[in-house]
């Protein structure tokens, strides 16, 4: 069997659990940027997590190399399909949790520091493989409405202030880390700065935040407007020396200020 045939068999096996309401495919497979080294990112939405031993039996049907019931991020099972070498990453999600996230973010307009709409984007772009009683389709339709103005404004306000204008901002923390030659802290705070920076750009363009991978190219391909020197400055901030990072972060904030007409 090829990967697509095995995927259908997997979905059939997991759909037999009474607890399961929907099974969807996410990640690179849904946007056609995957290859055989890319995971099958499978999200199983359930009333409660299915029995671990029964999940193990399903994985062992397809794989010799497996790790069941890990809790590094969301509860998950991972394995490599023995027949094709395709990695499979299965995540179990609570119905109440994902519904609450869509309501809190997309319907009520609550912003986070970075990654605000990532779960909304995940639901929005997921490919439905199994949907008992149409529950997931109903949830997905809630993410298909036009990007709310209130949410965009809240994301921009919260994230822009903390880039540099607020006390103990990300910029302040990058400067302090640079003065201490603390490279671990510099990288940590730079990543946080960039998470908020991209959240702002996507909100201004009213595009859902796709997460962490290939963001520069995604923004170039999908955003109608970008700050001045966008690609050059992001690359300098991510990979420049200490002084370049400090100067670049300050410049990015000012370019963003002009981009936002603040």
Domain boundaries, the chain: 3-141, 149-260
What tokens does 162 get? 């903390």
Q: Indicate the SS3 state at residue 22.
A: strand
pLDDT reported for residue 28: 60
The position carrying tokens 């204008």 is 165
* CATH no., domain 3-141: 3.30.460.10
Which residue ranges of the chain lie beneath pLDDT 50?
33-34
Q: What gap in Å lies between CA 112 and CA 130, rounded to an integer?
A: 31
User: Which positions ≥6 away from 65 have C-beta within 8 Å?
Assistant: 79, 80, 82
Strand 20-26, strand 127-131: pairing: antiparallel
What tokens does 29 get? 């497979």
pLDDT reported for residue 37: 61
pLDDT reported for residue 36: 56
**Residue 144: DSSP 8-state:** S
What tokens does 126 get? 């997921």
pLDDT reported for residue 33: 46
pLDDT reported for residue 224: 96
User: Which positions ≥6 away from 191 have C-beta within 8 Å?
Assistant: none
Across-strand partners of 92? 44
What is the pTM (predicted TM-score) of this model? 0.92
């Amino acid at each position: 069997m090829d990967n697509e045939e095995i995927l259908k068999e997997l979905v059939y096996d997991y759909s037999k659990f009474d607890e399961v309401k929907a099974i969807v495919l996410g990640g690179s497979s849904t946007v056609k940027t995957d290859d055989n080294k890319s995971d099958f990112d499978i999200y199983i939405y359930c009333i409660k997590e299915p029995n671990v031993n029964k999940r193990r039996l399903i994985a062992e049907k397809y794989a010799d190399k497996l790790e069941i019931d890990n809790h590094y991020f969301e509860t998950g099972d991972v394995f490599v399909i023995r027949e094709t070498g395709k990695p499979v990453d299965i995540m179990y999600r609570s119905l109440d949790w994902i519904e609450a996230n869509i309501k809190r973010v997309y319907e009520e307009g609550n912003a986070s520091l970075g990654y605000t709409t990532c779960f909304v984007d995940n639901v929005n772009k997921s490919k439905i493989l199994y949907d008992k009683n149409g529950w997931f389709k109903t949830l997905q339709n809630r993410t298909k409405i036009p990007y709310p103005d209130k949410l965009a404004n809240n994301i921009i306000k919260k994230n822009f202030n903390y880039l540099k204008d607020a006390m103990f901002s990300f910029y302040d923390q990058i400067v302090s880390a640079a003065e201490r030659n603390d490279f671990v802290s510099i990288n940590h705070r730079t990543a946080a700065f960039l998470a908020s920076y991209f959240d702002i750009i996507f909100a201004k363009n009213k595009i859902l935040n796709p997460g962490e991978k290939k963001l520069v190219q995604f923004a170039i391909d999908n955003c109608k407007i970008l700050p001045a020197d966008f690609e050059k400055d992001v690359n300098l901030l991510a990979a420049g020396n200490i002084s370049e990072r400090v100067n670049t972060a300050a410049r990015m904030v000012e370019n963003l200020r002009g981009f936002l007409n603040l």
